[in-house]
Structure 1
Amino acid sequence: LSRRLLDLDADVLLEDELNHPSLVAAHRRLQDRKRFPLVSIVHHLRSSEASPPPLRLLHRLVERAYLRGADGFIFNSQATRRSVELLAGVSRPFIVAPPGGDRLPGPPAAFDIRARAGEAGPLRILFVGSLIARKGLHILLEGLAALPIGAWSLEIVGDGERDAAYAARIRRQIDRLGLAGAVELRGALDDGGLAQAYAHSHVLAVPSDYEGFGIAYLEAMTFGLPVLASSAGGAAEIVTHGETGYLVPPASPAILAEHLLRLASDRPLLARLGLAARRSALARPSWDDSMESIRQFLLSMAPSGAAAPSLSVALGGVQ
C-alpha cells in the first residue's frame, strides 16, 4: 500500500479514518518520503465507544498511531475534533464540516407537521440505524416495555446483517417482552423509503452509546420529528434538549420511557418540538455548504503550486 501511495500523482491524499488499521504502517513508511499532505476524514473514533477495557486500549493505541501520522483533519463535529485532539495529543490544521440534512426528498411543510402531531392513535416512534449494540435499540425496547401497549408503535429501519447475532438478540427481546404487535422490522430502505418513514413518524429515538455526529438525528429534524438522542458525543450539537428533542444518557431506558410517554400524551408539545426541530435543521449548513468548506480547506493544504481548477486529490485506504 505504501509503495502505491508513493507513486500517486496527487496534491493531497484524502483518507477515511475508518480505514486506519490498513494505514498505520503505510503512514510510518511515508513520513520521510511523501510528496503530498495526508488529510484524514474523521467521523467517529472507535476508542470513544463503550467496549471492554482491553479492546478499548487496543483501539486507542492504533488510532493514536494513525492520527499522529496525518497532516490535517476534516471533522464532522466539534465533539469528534475534541476526541481526536485529546487522543492524539498533537495540533494539526483542521476544519469542522458537519453533514447536511437536505439529502432526502419531500420534507413536510409546517402545516403538515402540526396535522401529523394531532392525528389520533399511538405515538409513531422511528428507529434508524444499523442493528448493532452501539445504537442502543435494546435499550429503547426495554424502555418501551414499560409503556402501555397501544400508546405507541415502533418502526425499525436499518441493516440487520452487520451483526447477525445482535439482530437475532433483538428479535428474541421483542418476543420476550411481548412487543411483537407494536414493533415492525423494516430492514434497510432506499432513500425514498427512508423519506417516507420519516414523513410518517412522530418522533425519532436512537439512544446510542456514542455518536460522533448522528446524521439520522438531523435528517429526522428536517422532517419535523423531535429526536431522542444520545447525550454522549456530537448529538448535543444538533439537538437542543427540551426544544427540539431530548438528550438521554446512554443505557437509560426509564428516561427514554418518560420522554416518550410525555410526547404520546401531549400532542401540542409534540407539534411544538417538531416545528422547532424543522426550523433548527433548515438553518444548518447544507451538504453543498459543507462540501465547499472542505474544498477550500483542501486547497489550503495543497502545495502552493496547486491551482484550484486542477487540484488533484487521491483517496487512500482499503475497505
Structure 2
Amino acid sequence: MRFLMLNWRDPKNPLAGGAEQVSQRYLQALRERGHEVAWFANRFPGSASFEEIDGIPVHRGGGQGTSIVSAMKWCNAQRRFDLVIDQHHGIPWYAPWWCGTNCVAYIHEVLGPIWNSFFNWPWDVIGRWQERMTHELYSRVPFWTPSDSTRRLLELAGVQTVKVLPNGVDAVPLKELPPKPLTEPVQLITVSRLAPNKRVDHAVQLLAELRKRGVRAELSIVGGGHCEPDLKGLVKSLELVGEVHFRGRVSDVEKNRLLAAAHFLVHPSQREGWGLNVIEANAMGTPALVYPVGGLVDSTIADVTGLVAARETPAALADELGKLSLGGERYAGLRENAWRRAFEFRWERVLTPACEWLEEQARG
C-alpha cells in the first residue's frame, strides 16, 4: 500500500520538533512492513524540493498559504495513494476534499489558547474560530491523536471518530536506576523550543519562588528559539544569572546526560499533544513537574510518576516541590515509578498497533 504524510514541517526543517520526530518513526515502520511512503512539506530557506531522509522520500513545495496548492498539484501527478495522513498544526491541508482517496486527520493538540501566545487581536480570535470550524468540517473524518486529553477536546468539538495511539520515545531507559536523593541545590531542567507557548519564563520564575522559600535551586534550559533574549533578560532582572544555565541545542547523548543529572524536568507549557520529553526524562530516572494542561496530564500521572501543579503559576509549581522532603522516600518513589513506566513507551511496543490501524484505514 501507499501512504502519504502531509505536514508543513519535515525532519530537516529548523522548526521541526516532536511531531516530526514521531511522524518519521511511523513512516519508517510502515516502510519496514513493505509499504511505500512519502512526505510532503513546505519549503524553507535553503531547502531542496526533494530529498530522501532516512529512507523516506520528502517532497517540498510552497510556503505559508501556498503549500496546500502545491500539495494538490504534486499529489494529482502521482499514482494514487491508499491513505493520506492530513497532519494538523492549527491549519489543516483539507486533503479529504482533494486527495481522492482514504484520509485520516492526525493532530497532536488542539491549539486553543496557544493562538493567543503567537498572535495579537484580531488574528488570535480568527485562529481560534478557524480551528473550531475546521473540527466541525472534519467531524466525519477519522482522527488520530496521542492523548486522551486531545480526544476529549475533539469529541467536544463534534468529531465522531478519534483513535488514541500513544507516542513512543527514542530514549532507551536506563538499565538500572542509580541512587539520586533530592538534595540542595535542587537541579531542574527544561527541554523545549524557546517559544511563547512553552512558557519557559515560568520555570525561571519558579527559581525566584523557591528562593523566597529558602530553597536553593538551579535550572538548565535546553533548546533554542526566539524567546531566548527575553529569557536572559528575565534571568538578569531576577538576579538569577548564577543559577540559570542556557545549554542551547544539544545532542541526544548530552540531553540524556543532563536529564539524568536533574531532579525534575519542569514543563510549564500551555498545552501539549503528549509531552515526549516527559517520558524521555522518565527514561533517565527523572520525574516531571508539570502544569495541569492537556497532554502533560497524560504523560505525567499525578503523585505517581511526577507532580502536577494545582494551577498554572510558578507559585503552584513551588507548592508541589514544597511537599517533598529533602532525601525523602516520596521522591525516590516518583523516580522509580517514572522510570518503570518509560519502558511502556518503547517504539517496538507502540508501532505495531499504530501501523495496523493505519493499514485498516488504507483499506477503507
TM class by shorter chain equals: 0.7 to 0.9
Which AA in structure 2 matches 1:83? L
Q: Which has more helix, going by share of residues?
A: 1
Query: Which residue, out of 165, 174, 195, partners 1:97?
Result: 165
Superposition pairs for residues 1-319 of structure 1, below 5 Å?
1=69, 2-8=72-78, 9-18=80-89, 20=91, 23-24=93-94, 27-28=96-97, 30=98, 34-49=99-114, 51=116, 54-67=122-135, 68-69=137-138, 71-87=141-157, 89-92=158-161, 94-101=162-169, 103-105=170-172, 107=174, 109-110=176-177, 112=178, 115-117=179-181, 121-148=184-211, 151-160=216-225, 164=226, 166-249=227-310, 251-263=312-324, 265-282=326-343, 284-303=344-363
Residues 234 and 150 (structure 1), Cα distance of their counterparts in 2 relative to 1, 3 Å cut: closer
How far off its partner does 1:6 sit? 3.2
How far off its partner does 1:281 sit? 2.3
How far off its partner does 1:218 sit? 1.4
Deviations 1:246-286 (A, max 9, x none): 1124531112112234447344332221112112222x242
Residues 5 and 228 (structure 1), Cα distance of their counterparts in 2 relative to 1, 3 Å cut: same
Identity %: 25
Asked whether the equivalents of residues 172 and 283 of structure 2 are also in contact (C-alpha less than 8 Å), the reply is no
Asked whether the equivalents of residues 227 and 239 of structure 1 are also in contact (C-alpha less than 8 Å), the reply is yes
How far off its partner does 1:19 sit? 7.2
CA–CA distance in 2 between the matches of 1:19 and 1:27? 17
CA–CA distance in 1 between the matches of 2:171 and 2:345? 15
Cα-Cα RMSD: 2.5
Deviations 1:198-252 (A, max 9, x none): 1111111111122221111111112221211121102222222222211124531
Gaps of 5+ in 1: 305-319
Equivalenced residues, count: 286
Residues 184 and 167 (structure 1), Cα distance of their counterparts in 2 relative to 1, 3 Å cut: same
Bigger relative contact order, structure 1 or 2 (CA pairs below 8 A, ≥6 apart) = 1
- SS state of the match for residue 307, structure 2? strand
Asked whether the equivalents of residues 309 and 320 of structure 2 are also in contact (C-alpha less than 8 Å), the reply is no
- SS state of the match for residue 199, structure 1? helix
Alignment-derived partner of residue 25 in structure 2:
none
How far off its partner does 1:192 sit? 1.0
Deviations 1:43-70 (A, max 9, x none): 1122253626744432233334544347
Which AA in structure 1 matches 2:164? V
- SS state of the match for residue 269, structure 2? coil
Gaps of 5+ in 2: 1-68
- SS state of the match for residue 220, structure 2? strand
